[in-house]
Amino acid sequence: MKKGYFITGTDTNVGKTWATIALMHYLKQQGKTVVGMKPVASGCVLHQGQLHNDDALLIQRYSSIPIEYALINPYAYAPAVSPHIAGHHHPVDLDTLVAGFNHLQALSDIVLVEGAGGWYAPINSTEDISDLAKRLGLPVIIVVAIRLGCINHAKLTYHAVLQSGLACAGWIAMCTDATMLNREENIDTIKTILDAPLLGVLPYLENADFNLFAERFKSAALC
């Protein structure tokens, strides 16, 4: 039985990595061995002859056990563009990613898989993030950036997840705009629209405080 969650977002740069690591903190506090995976990443930099992504390095750092980088981020591309463009000469293969996930699952209680971009972000010439999520078959957690347009983006992403045949385990409100007007009202509106639990509201911070973020999941119904 697969144990884990697929973390998607309402767009690019919505705080998926911070939310993923906050969930890792929370689940570790529940006594779980947790590892993370960022299968596809663009905007990577060369380090000792290997391309590395900052977000994937954070996930590696906060995993419960030491995991080699190539398992966490099998497809690392230098250009900061959509993966299907960045990986034109080395496209993503879903079988490779599924095998990597299965390896991580054998090492841990829970694997958190962070997608790239939004739900339909293309990862090769014919497949997108939703295809990867469907192959893994994990419950999906949606990270909603609380900013102008968030209600529409949350509703679109939620219905897209359901149309893919996957369960939505819940959503996270990531406060990304320090000057957002009526923030609480927007969150309350999304709560009434989505038939999925609000797992936590992560406050706006200039620098991440993952212990503080983890406290916001205290009432979350996560395994």
Q: Catalytic residue numbers?
A: 38
Q: How far is CA 19 from the centre of its chain?
A: 7
Give every CB contact of residue 147 below 8 A, 6+ residues apart in sequence: 176, 177, 180
CB 7 within 8 A of CB 115: yes
In angstroms, rounded to a whole number, what is the distance separating the alpha carbons of residues 20 and 210?
A: 10
Evaluate the CA torsion angle 196, 199, 204, 206 in order and state its sign: negative
CB 34 within 8 A of CB 28: yes
In angstroms, rounded to a whole number, what is the distance separating the alpha carbons of residues 29 and 195?
A: 27
Q: How crowded is residue 54: how many other Cβ atoms within 10 Å of its Cβ?
A: 12
In angstroms, rounded to a whole number, what is the distance separating the alpha carbons of residues 173 and 41?
A: 23
